Amino acid sequence: MKTPKITLIPGDGIGPEVTSATCKIIEAAGVKVEWEVCEAGAAVFKKGLPSGVPTETIESIKRNRIALKGPLETPVGYGEKSANVTLRKLFETFANIRPIREFPGVKSPYAGRKIDFVIVRENVEDLYAGIEYMQTPGTAQTLKIITKKGCEKIVRLAFEYARSEGRKSVHCATKANIMKFSEGTLKRTFEEIAPEYPEINAQHIIVDNCAHQLVRFPEKFETIVTTNMNGDILSDLGSGLIGGLGFAPGANIGNDIAIFEAVHGSAPKYAGKNTINPTAVILSGVMMLRYLDLQDIADKVEQAVLVTLKEGKVLTRDIIGDEKAATTSQFTDEIIKNLGRTIDWWPKRQYKKLQVPKISSAPDYTKAKSRQVVGVDVFVESPMDSESLGKNLELLSEGTPFKLKMISNRGVVVYPSSGVSPDVVDHWRCRFMLKEETANLNDDLLLPLLKKIGDQHTWAHLEKLNVFDGKNGFSRDQGEN
Ligand code: NAP
């Protein structure tokens, strides 16, 4: 067997304890790994590097294309970004895979239900793109960026992941009923791609219903693909079903790069105490071995963990309570002692190497045959009431190629009035349509309108109203016809 070279980031808090337990077990199982130990997180922030990830660590991951990582603390209360998010973004690890599975001997209200599903969470887009603005002193905006390309990558990966583990179903969980463009893109992409995987049962599910079903019937799910924010919430719900964070492993997968880490954080109060449960990172190590296609070794480590948990002779504090608790090192040694033993407690899967889908890197990945810009939404900050503002903007647009179609406030049409009076703030979405239906908005038409608005009001931002291939690329507001 070739000696794999892997970047090892021990991380903060309990990180060094849980990662060293994992390395010890992997080596004892028969893989000689060349670990390249690198820094990231608190120690690096303290040295004054605001990203928390030094160049040497970035270079090591670039070289090795694979890393095992302990948790990294995110500084609270001062300017630095999360080093975890920096790593995810730098290496475009677009998928976060979180298996949720019942373990023998681990207490949970769901014990015996045979929970065994995996959440495939989009990892770089959505609200986590981190693009935020204060548009007025009292109105914040976060952009939810969802791309067709990002959806295609995550959907294909979910099907490939299901295939690599012999899973028979994939659910796509979205809020497409409300966010028809952003969440809807994931749903549509899922429905387009599903027929390419005829052996897998593909179903869409509204995400709130998915949360409800996960609590009532978690055993009916095998794979769930979802957007970043939905996945963040569903996967924590999932780890709650099976005994807590000590049992939730994870993988961040990119085009040809992968970073393996537990879902949990650095649990600083347990740092250095040798009491923490290392199972989540050990199982992240199992996922890493499977990614390297070392299926036999992965099975061997996984089985040893299951045997240790089932026998329950040597368990950590979180599983068995303080009185009978073994230390992290004793638990690790017990797993090593159990390497080579197997149990029938759980049906074994037939694992194959994960085929990460190759998708074109072209920026203009999605092209339209035709496009027209039929108007513009101007977001205006004004203390006026809706009637006065509406009348004023109608006057301003006289003599221009535009007519004011409507004004909405927090998503509800307030001008022309529908007779209801929602609570409003000084942040108005003012929709101007070109009077001539076949015309195309250009800067020569737009700039004089903006100048007129800007002379009397503060405008915060603009959105062009695009029509791609004959379909509106903008939403209607509540109450807009
Ligand atoms: P946390 O470190 O996950 O710890 C929360 C609690 O979960 C612990 O107090 C402990 O519960 C339990 N727990 C966590 N890991 C465990 C394990 N291996 N075995 C047994 N129990 C475990 O969450 P946090 O306190 O919110 O975050 C601490 C720091 O970690 C923060 O700086 C945060 O930003 C960072 N973080 C990093 C990552 C990452 O690197 N991927 C992820 C999450 C958080 P009890 O107190 O009940 O024993």
In this structure, which long-range contacts are made by residues 214-222, counting pairs with CB atoms below 8 Å and at least 24 apart in sequence? Answer: 214/238, 214/241, 215/241, 218/100, 218/110, 218/113, 218/115, 218/117, 219/113, 219/114, 219/115, 219/116, 221/117, 221/169, 221/171, 222/116, 222/117, 222/118, 222/162, 222/167, 222/168, 222/169, 222/170
Higher pLDDT, 345 or 451: 451
Q: Does the domain at residues 1-99+243-353 carry the CATH identifier 3.40.718.10?
A: yes
User: 35 near 20, Cβ under 8 Å?
Assistant: no
**CA gyration radius for the chain?**
26
**Token pair recorded at residue 384:** 């006026």
28 phi, psi to nearest 5 deg: -65, -25
CATH class of 371-472: alpha beta
- Region 278-285: mean pLDDT is 98
Rounded CA-CA distance 279/298 in Å is 14
Nearest to 304 by CA among 326, 286, 325, 291: 286
Give tens-digit pLDDT for 219-255.
Answer: 999 999 999 999 999 999 999 999 888 999 999 999 9
Rounded CA-CA distance 448/330 in Å is 75
Nearest to 319 by CA among 238, 235, 246, 236: 246
Q: Which atom of ligand 1 is nearest to the CA of 82?
A: 34
Domain boundaries, the chain: 1-99+243-353, 116-241, 371-472
Tokens 């409003």 identify what position?
424
* Environment class of 439 (CB within 10 Å of its CB; exposed 0-12, middle 13-18, buried 19+): middle
Look at residue 77 and tell me whether its pLDDT is greater than 90.
Answer: no
- Region 92-105: mean pLDDT is 95
Distance (Å) from CA 13 to ligand 1 centroid: 9
Q: Whose CA is nearest to atom 42 of ligand 1?
A: 265
Instruction: Supply the pLDDT for residue 50.
Output: 87
- Region 91-101: mean pLDDT is 96
Q: Whose CA is nearest to atom 22 of ligand 1?
A: 246
Q: Which atom of ligand 1 is nearest to the CA of 70?
A: 40
Instruction: Supply the pLDDT for residue 118.
Output: 98
Q: What is the DSSP string of 336-362?
A: HHTTT---SSSPPP------PPP----
Distance (Å) from CA 14 to ligand 1 centroid: 9
Confidence of residue 82 (pLDDT cuts 50, 70, 90): confident
Classify strands 66-69 and 5-9 as parallel, antiparallel or unpaired: parallel
Q: Whose CA is nearest to atom 26 of ligand 1?
A: 265
DSSP state of 120: E
Average pLDDT of the chain, as a whole number: 94
Rounded CA-CA distance 39/60 in Å is 11
Rounded CA-CA distance 38/32 in Å is 18
Ligand 1, pocket residues at CB < 6 Å: 71-74, 84, 245-246, 261, 264-267, 276-277, 280, 318
Rounded CA-CA distance 137/417 in Å is 26
Look at residue 80 and tell me whether its pLDDT is greater than 80.
Answer: no
Confidence of residue 79 (pLDDT cuts 50, 70, 90): low
Distance (Å) from CA 71 to ligand 1 centroid: 8
**Token pair recorded at residue 422:** 């929602």
Q: What is the dihedral of CA 279, 162, 34, 46, to 10 degrees?
A: -60
* Environment class of 448 (CB within 10 Å of its CB; exposed 0-12, middle 13-18, buried 19+): middle
Instruction: Supply the pLDDT for residue 418.
Output: 82
Q: Quick one: fold of 116-241?
A: Isopropylmalate Dehydrogenase (3.40.718)
Instruction: Supply the pLDDT for residue 421.
Output: 83
Distance (Å) from CA 265 to ligand 1 centroid: 4
Q: Which atom of ligand 1 is nearest to the CA of 72?
A: 40
> What spatial distance separates the first Cα and last Cα of the chain, rounded to whole Å?
66
- Region 377-381: mean pLDDT is 98
Q: Whose CA is nearest to atom 11 of ligand 1?
A: 267
Confidence of residue 215 (pLDDT cuts 50, 70, 90): very high
Q: Do 1-99+243-353 and 116-241 fold alike per CATH? A: yes
Which amino acid is residue 29, in one-letter code? Answer: A
Instruction: Supply the pLDDT for residue 478.
Output: 66
Pocket test for ligand 1, best of 266, 269, 316 (most atoms within 8 A of CB): 266
Distance (Å) from CA 402 to ligand 1 centroid: 55
Pocket test for ligand 1, best of 245, 269, 332 (most atoms within 8 A of CB): 245
Rounded CA-CA distance 248/264 in Å is 7
Distance (Å) from CA 435 to ligand 1 centroid: 57
Give tens-digit pLDDT for 435-449.
Answer: 998 899 999 999 999
Q: Does pTM surpass 0.85?
A: yes
- Region 23-36: mean pLDDT is 97
Q: Whose CA is nearest to atom 39 of ligand 1?
A: 71
DSSP state of 399: T
Q: How far is CA 297 from CA 64, 159, 290, 303, in A?
A: 20, 24, 8, 10
Give tens-digit pLDDT for 121-169.
Answer: 999 999 988 889 999 999 999 999 999 999 999 999 999 999 999 999 9
Tokens 């513009």 identify what position?
376
